[in-house]
Structure 1
Amino acid sequence: MQAPAETPSCYRHPKRETYVRCVRCDRYSCPDCLRDAAVGQQCVECVREGNRGLRQARSVFGGRVGATSWVSYTVIGLCVLAYLGELAAPGVVDRLDALGTGLRSPDGHYFVDGGHVPPGWTQVGIAHGEWYRLLTSAFLHQPPGGGFGVLHIALNMWWVWTLGRQTEQMLGWVRYAALYLLSALGGSVLVFLVAPTTPALGASGAVFGLAASYWVFSRRLGHDMRAANQQTLYVLVWLVISAGMTSWQGHLGGFLAGGVTAVAFAYAPKARRALVQAAAGVALFALLLALVVVKTSTLT
């Protein structure tokens, strides 16, 4: 008498009976281990193996396309957390803003550097080794009761939410992060060069860089320039209006740095796009640091 045939089971779940096979590897697979394919169904391992050979989608400027604007959300989150830190410990602003050179008294108060250092006082600022201020200042904003108050961070984060996310989708995560940080750095460097005793802060420099880059990218892609021109006009008008109220140096520095970076990213030749973009970013970074070194030598 012939023995009954053994019932086939899933290759990943031996206790599950199944009569369905993967169209690619011909192994028996249960419904939990099958995925719909163009023809029939494939097991999860064949699907994973097939995806490895697919080229990941790239943006028009060479960056990896992502459905979520993680860098923009991270910037907003860091700025909000920093603002809460300012409210809890107001002294954070004096320690992390873009002060070029100043004095800290023995009791912890900050003053403009007048060239003479009283006994027990300390020279502080970018010119005295606190280079981190060049970037930390871009994540701080004016606390309530000072300048624009809460409106300062609200407006900047609104621009990052609207303009930043669009730019990030054009560039991809890495290139957008480089553009944002170079714009922020450019704003801080111009403040240091022109007004080293001004304790500037805010993401405005990076935001102005985003505005410049959006105009460059829109022109490069052949978009209708009416919206981009109108937005750029608003930015330039605000640059003039804000000259007497906030750090116009930071705004102009960010605008110039963002524009230069955007031109390099947008018009890099396709054959050597990544190399040219990286070289341009490194060159601008080196130039900004060289300007800081030269200015530091004159102040110290």
Structure 2
Amino acid sequence: MDQAAGSTPDARSLPVCYRHPDRETGIRCTRCERPICPECMVSASVGFQCPECVRAGSGTGHTPAATRPRTLAGGTLTADPRLATKILIGVNLAAFLVQQSVGDRFTNRFLLFGGPAHAAYLTGLQGVADGQYYRLLTAMFLHSGYIHILFNMVSLWWIGGPLEAALGRARYLALYFVSGLAGSALTYLLAAPNQPSLGASGAIYGLFAATAVLMRRLNYDLRPVVALLVINLIITFGVPHIAWQAHVGGLVAGAVTGYAMVHAPRRNRALVQYGTCAVVLAVVVVLTLVRTAQLT
């Protein structure tokens, strides 16, 4: 939605959210005109409202489903707007602990390109080309070391939390998994079949792209997120042994899906949002089938 009439945010003098004083914002509640950040804004018939105005407007009775307060992207407001992010971090950490406990026997079974299941009997590598399509998903939850998972989980918390609050839980999870799968598919298509690939970076780059789209939608200053993204891309292409394909695949999928999430018209909004996810997943399937045909 458009920001409050007559206000043009200035990156040098933005007000701060009345509930989160550390967050600058160019959006105000359309009822009380208090500044609100993406985590606090609730989609209304015109513009956005703050949580207090929403509660005051709905009273103490039950709110009909059609008029319940929604996030910017049309998602349902929840008591803990970062719950999905916390769960994703927990799953990643749990998988990493299993990796550290079990070792390569576990990791090779679930990363994108794995070693042979029984090295004494097999010499070839096993992977998606052998019908193990689950690796496109499981590889997203494995990491190569402490620095790898630390960097990814800090990024996931820093970027994912506010994005989940702005999109809503279901749309946020759809964005995360679509971006991660797109990163896996592009890696599978372009990388050598004996090059191990694992990590949540593809999904996180998708969140980066969606955050940039969201900030542009809200007329925020894009320079910080663009600078951070440029630094990460320099690292991606400048440091050896980084699967740049996963980063690029996640980035493109995140930009496309994120645009659909925050720019979909109110009419048929869910159809546009999830339809875009379905199209991206269809591309993932096509890339996977093409590469499998090349390798078999």
What is the TM-score of this pair, normalised by structure 2? 0.74
Q: What displacement does 1:178 show?
A: 0.5
> Do 1:127 and 1:296's aligned partners in 2 also have CA atoms closer than 8 Å?
yes
> Do 1:208 and 1:235's aligned partners in 2 also have CA atoms closer than 8 Å?
no
Residue 154 of structure 1 corresponds to 150
The answer to whether residue 76 in structure 2 is matched with residue 79 in structure 1 is no
Q: What displacement does 1:232 show?
A: 2.4
Q: Deviations 1:235-293 (Å, cap 9, x if unpaired)?
A: 32222223x23111111111111111111212212212111111111111111111101
Residue 282 of structure 1 corresponds to 278
Alignment match of 1:63 (pick from 75, 78, 90): 75
Distance 2:259 2:250 in 1: 14
> Do 1:168 and 1:176's aligned partners in 2 also have CA atoms closer than 8 Å?
yes
**Seq. identity, %:** 36
> Do 1:104 and 1:121's aligned partners in 2 also have CA atoms closer than 8 Å?
no
Residue type at the aligned position of 2:85 = S
Distance 1:123 1:230 in 2: 39
For residues 126 and 120 of structure 1, do their structure 2 counterparts lie closer, same or farther at Cα, with a shift above 3 Å needed?
closer
**Highest Rg: 1 or 2?**
1
The answer to whether residue 106 in structure 2 is matched with residue 92 in structure 1 is yes
Alignment match of 2:230 (pick from 230, 233, 254): 233
Larger mean CA deviation between 58-67 and 70-79 belongs to 58-67
Distance 1:214 1:52 in 2: 30
Please show how residues 127-146 of structure 1 align to structure 2 within 5 Å.
127-142=129-144
Please show how residues 1-300 of structure 1 align to structure 2 within 5 Å.
50-53=61-64, 55-68=67-80, 69-90=82-103, 91-99=105-113, 103-107=116-120, 124-142=126-144, 149-195=145-191, 196-242=193-239, 244-300=240-296
Unaligned runs of 5+ in 1: 1-36, 39-45, 108-118, 143-148
For residues 66 and 241 of structure 1, do their structure 2 counterparts lie closer, same or farther at Cα, with a shift above 3 Å needed?
farther
> Do 2:108 and 2:115's aligned partners in 1 also have CA atoms closer than 8 Å?
no
Residue type at the aligned position of 2:139 = S
> Do 1:191 and 1:198's aligned partners in 2 also have CA atoms closer than 8 Å?
no
Distance 1:280 1:292 in 2: 19
Residue type at the aligned position of 2:238 = I
Residue type at the aligned position of 1:231 = L
CA RMSD in angstroms, aligned pairs only = 2.2
Residue type at the aligned position of 1:299 = L
Distance 1:235 1:106 in 2: 36
> Do 2:116 and 2:122's aligned partners in 1 also have CA atoms closer than 8 Å?
no
Distance 2:150 2:123 in 1: 36
Residue type at the aligned position of 1:215 = A
Distance 2:159 2:288 in 1: 29
For residues 123 and 267 of structure 1, do their structure 2 counterparts lie closer, same or farther at Cα, with a shift above 3 Å needed?
same
Q: What displacement does 1:61 show?
A: 1.2
> Do 1:191 and 1:250's aligned partners in 2 also have CA atoms closer than 8 Å?
yes
Unaligned runs of 5+ in 2: 1-54
Distance 1:53 1:178 in 2: 25
Number of residue pairs aligned between Structure 1 and Structure 2: 236
> Do 1:211 and 1:232's aligned partners in 2 also have CA atoms closer than 8 Å?
yes
Distance 1:245 1:289 in 2: 26
Larger mean CA deviation between 230-239 and 77-86 belongs to 230-239
What is the TM-score of this pair, normalised by structure 1? 0.73
